Chain A
Amino acid sequence: MKRLVVVDSNRCVGCDLCVYACTNRYGHIGISKSAIHVRSAGGVERGFVVIVCRACKDPPCARACPVNALTLRQGGGVVLNPSKCIGCGFCVNACDIGAVMWDSEFMKPVICTHCGYCVTFCPHNVLSLEEVG
């Protein structure tokens, strides 16, 4: 199994192409369906914060879900069952690193599947997909 990692956020130039790549998986453009988020670290001169799911072994988001819509993913992180999800947003609050995004169109969380599509479109080697045991 693989997981997405931020190799070096100091290489990030803030182009957001990873964000657009992620949203793209759903056949959309924009930001609303991205599981990855980039923002400045308090002014762009300080660089950027790249927020991705770090594939926790014991994910707080799963524990916060009242309807078992989030189940453990092999290799870390969670898998969302959208049919079960009632859109309460507890998972968003449970993730201290802010890596559970929110799709305000469907009112459900956006969960990183660690597919690595964003890695393909990072021009500056900020991201990579790494093998996990």
Chain B
Amino acid sequence: MVDWVKSLSRVLYIDLSRKLFWVENREDLFSKWLGGIGVAIQLYREEVPKGADPLGPENTAIFAVGPLTGVYPMASKVVAVFKSPLNGFVAESHGGGRAATAIRFAGYGAIVIKGASDMPIYVVVDEEKVRFRDAGALWGMRSSETVGRVLREALPGAGYRTIMRIGRAGERLVRYATLTAETYRHFGRMGLGAVFGSKKLKALVVIGKKGFKLPDIKAYREVYRELYELTRGPSTRKYHDLGTAANVVPLDKLGALPTRNFSSGRFEGAREISGEKLAEENLARRLACTACPVACIHLAAIREEYEDEKYFYKTEFVPYDHEPIYSLGSNLGISDRYGLLKLIKAVEDEGIDAITTGVVLAWATEALEKGIISIKETLVELRWGNWRNYIKAVNYIVLQPNEFYKSLGLGVEEAASRYGGLEFALAYNKVEPAGYHTGPLFHASLAIGFRHSHLDSGAYSIDQNLVASGASLPSPEDAAKLIIGEESWRQVLNSLVICLFARSVYTGKIVEKALKALGYDIDELTLVNLGKRIYLEKHRTKALEGFKPDQVRIPRRFLETPTPLGQVSEEYLRKIIAYYSKLVSESTESTL
């Protein structure tokens, strides 16, 4: 076996119940499944029994990196796999910052966190050991930013460590709490923060300074240089210039920018909260994840004068991306840029998923408007554009002063099942949608994608290409094949682990070369097939947990509000879902 696989195959197991740790050599997994999601899904199957409570000690948080981590530009992500407390199924979330390289250079290919502590703790991992530390002083801290600062100052390893932590939302088990790394990057979706909270795990710090000898430095340098040039090329330029916020104006022009709870695809305030306007008025700094030349992380600075004293200011930094601009901006009717940034900041401090939070609040606003609920429930007037009250509501979601906010903390589907308004409670399989209303392929991909995320297959761009070319919709079967094909290939990238913003750089040919320079003998076709196998492994795992795609609820709102490709037909979506369902169930039967 390749030496490279050997060095990657060390898996660190941490048992929080017994405060024990050990390392196992899992060459069996890393030689077969590369790394990242390929390995993580197998570890999940080993660790998490059927029927496990997502917030119980049986749930396991698995972090995995891959053979290219820290080796080539933009191989900068960690894959996390766990059972989601938001929808009760196996879930996957990706995070950047320094997490990927810190894990790899601490000498691990994966970290498996089992059990639950009986007291708040944080865990510090380095090349030699794991330390369990008392988190009593950190628990309940109002801002997750402060938690990061305290740990930064208390621990060694500045420049080659990751500080992954949860906010109050995670402690209080808000089902869509995030895990935050390096203050501005997140394992954002599906509630990994609540899983940490249920384990009384405030933070996971990984310090890694190791190096690894390359088998063929000449071959490596050649591929490296090619990738370095490509990752700085035109395909990643927009992420560098305006960041993902570059999408706001084009989507609005197209009529695909979700506005006021998806009641429209156009937002009259789009220009005010666009990437262009944010860059001109508020952009203060750009940051990169480790090993990434692009630096897509955009931080805005907001200056605020204290109400009680003239000329007394504070300046805060707020990360922005397309998704929070949609979910907390256009989708809540907020065009006041300052207000939007303040709202994003509140969401950051609490450590909750920006997308879900925005969709939950949009549902609550509409429910209040329609008289389904009253101010008795919402405690503050939730009205489109009123960001001050939305900030209060964000705090209430975390503090849960009444039954209503407790329900909001469970996600939009759960809240609407209790209070009504399911037809405008926007989620597929209890996962709230990303910021696109481009057409039927996007919606189908949310219904059948493993993560119910726009990142599963990027189908919003298939829709947009259809709009641009004026071509007619593919048949449902062809649409399903397109979505599933793309999602399958992305399993390769997510096993290596490559940031998906580099997806057009890391073609099959390049990946083959990149791996070859590390001693792997694996060709493009084999990679494609491996992607298909990983796809099936994942979707099968979810099917075995009881996921019934045919029963996925399609909220009426999604079908009513026209997309650039017209209204989405339910029949078309159902046919795509049926194709997917058949594919997964046949593969499940054939191998069990």
Contact = CB atoms under 8 A, between A and B. Distances in A.
A31 B160 contact: yes
Contact of A15 (B212, B213, B295): B295
Interface string B100-120: 010011000000000000000
Interface in B183-222: 183-184, 208-214, 217, 221
A24 B216 CA distance: 11
Contacts of B285: 45, 47
A31 B211 contact: yes
B232 interface: yes
A20 B70 contact: yes
A29 interface: yes
B209 A32 contact: yes
B447 to A, nearest CB: 36
Contacts of A124: 293, 295
Contacts of A39: 158-159
B209 A27 contact: no
A43 B160 contact: no
Given A13-B295, A15-B295, A29-B70, A123 B232 contact: yes
For chain A, which range describes its interface: under 10, 10 to 19, 20 to 34, or 35 or more residues?
Answer: 20 to 34
Contacts of B148: 43
A32 B210 contact: yes
B500 interface: no
B152 interface: yes
A44 B183 contact: yes
B209 A31 contact: yes
A15 B291 contact: yes
Given A15-B288, A17-B293, A30-B70, A37 B211 contact: no
B214 A45 contact: no
Interface in B525-578: none
A38 B159 contact: yes
Nearest to B299: A45
B193 to A, nearest CB: 20
Contacts of B212: 28-30
A55 B101 CA distance: 29
Nearest to B301: A45
A40 B214 contact: no
B286 A13 contact: yes
Contacts of A13: 286-288, 295
A86 B521 CA distance: 41
Top 7 A-B pairs ranked by shortest CB distance?
A30-B211, A39-B159, A32-B211, A123-B293, A13-B295, A15-B288, A45-B317
Interface of B: 70-71, 73, 101, 104-105, 148-149, 152, 158-160, 182-184, 208-214, 217, 221, 224, 228, 232, 284-293, 295, 299, 317
Interface of A: 13-17, 20, 23-24, 26-33, 37-40, 42-45, 47, 104-105, 121, 123-124
25 contacts: A13-B288, A13-B295, A14-B287, A14-B288, A15-B295, A16-B101, A16-B290, A17-B291, A24-B217, A24-B221, A27-B213, A28-B211, A28-B213, A29-B211, A30-B70, A30-B105, A30-B212, A32-B210, A32-B211, A40-B159, A44-B182, A44-B183, A45-B184, A45-B317, A104-B209
